[in-house]
Chain A
């Protein structure tokens, strides 16, 4: 029911350093594939999209399959990629995760009938914000949310430092 207890952080390859390495690698790749002189609005927007995806992907990959939210995010990326590679005419570019299978939906409805009905309604909004949240029970949702927030703040912290670095080096 509950997730595994606190992960022991390996000091030599912390989550943060794994994210930094991955994300910087992605940034280098994005920069290399784009002519530096090209700064048209379209190009910049595409670059923005790629950077944002790289940031979320880098974090999800750094967490790997240890968390429900990271697994959900990684499978979302994989399905998006296969949707693009095959059929170009009917491409699904929705950002929502697919709805959970009927069995899980039934469990959610049952939970709403219990004394915790109020809590379940309150968590609806949160479920949409946390990857994979729709199918989690309340305990997992709260636990995953805490970890997701920690990772998001790490993402933001690192990205800020990179931005500062580029600012200073100009």
Chain B
């Protein structure tokens, strides 16, 4: 699939159109909890990008925090026998 060729006012280096970027940015907006409530407002691209970065960072921190908690929990439990039960209960949700 080819994007529209650039209009005359844009550089000929990039054939990426404004519409494509707008669509992608709005797709991102829907993924970010902070911005999802403002779905019908006009959120600027830079705000979306900024919030995206913040969100990714908070997700990274959550992975670290959950890994930390798991490392403490695993220290005192035997993981092997529970595994089948865990998988079943997790997948059923």
Main secondary structure of the interface of A (DSSP, over half): helix
* Most chain A beta carbons < 10 A, residue from B20, B32, B89: B20
Instruction: Report Cα–Cα, A52/B62, bound state, in Å.
Output: 10
Number of interface residues, chain A, beta carbon within 8 A: 62
Contact A126 B49 (CB under 8 A): yes
Instruction: Report Cα–Cα, A2/B91, bound state, in Å.
Output: 32
Identify the closest chain B residue to A30 (Cβ): B74
Contact B75 A142 (CB under 8 A): no
Contact B3 A2 (CB under 8 A): yes
Is residue A105 within 8 Å, beta carbon to beta carbon, of the partner chain? no
Give the tally of cross-chain contacts (CB within 8 A): 166
Instruction: Report Cα–Cα, A160/B70, bound state, in Å.
Output: 9
Cβ contacts under 8 Å, A123 to chain B: 49
Contact B79 A129 (CB under 8 A): no
Contact B53 A129 (CB under 8 A): yes
A108 to B: closest C-beta gap in Å: 11
Is residue A36 within 8 Å, beta carbon to beta carbon, of the partner chain? yes
A141 to B: closest C-beta gap in Å: 9
User: CB-defined interface of B52-93 with A at 8 Å, one 1/0 digit per residue?
Assistant: 110111011011101111111111111110110011011101
Main secondary structure of the interface of B (DSSP, over half): helix
Is residue A82 within 8 Å, beta carbon to beta carbon, of the partner chain? no
Instruction: Report Cα–Cα, A126/B87, bound state, in Å.
Output: 34
Known: A122-B49, A156-B66. A39 touches B76 (CB 8 A): yes
Cβ contacts under 8 Å, A28 to chain B: 79-80, 83
Instruction: Report Cα–Cα, A143/B26, bound state, in Å.
Output: 11
Known: A52-B64, A116-B14, A139-B24. A162 touches B56 (CB 8 A): no
Number of interface residues, chain B, beta carbon within 8 A: 55
Is residue B43 within 8 Å, beta carbon to beta carbon, of the partner chain? no
Is residue A84 within 8 Å, beta carbon to beta carbon, of the partner chain? no
Known: A111-B13, A114-B13, A122-B45. A142 touches B74 (CB 8 A): no
- Residues of chain B whose beta carbon lies under 8 Å from any beta carbon of chain A: 1-3, 9-11, 13-16, 20-21, 24-25, 27-28, 31-32, 45-46, 49-50, 52-53, 55-57, 59-60, 62-64, 66-80, 82-83, 86-87, 89-91, 93
In addition to A126-B56, A149-B55, 9 A-B residue pairs with Cβ atoms within 8 Å of each other are A2-B1, A28-B79, A30-B74, A32-B80, A48-B68, A55-B63, A122-B45, A142-B21, A152-B60
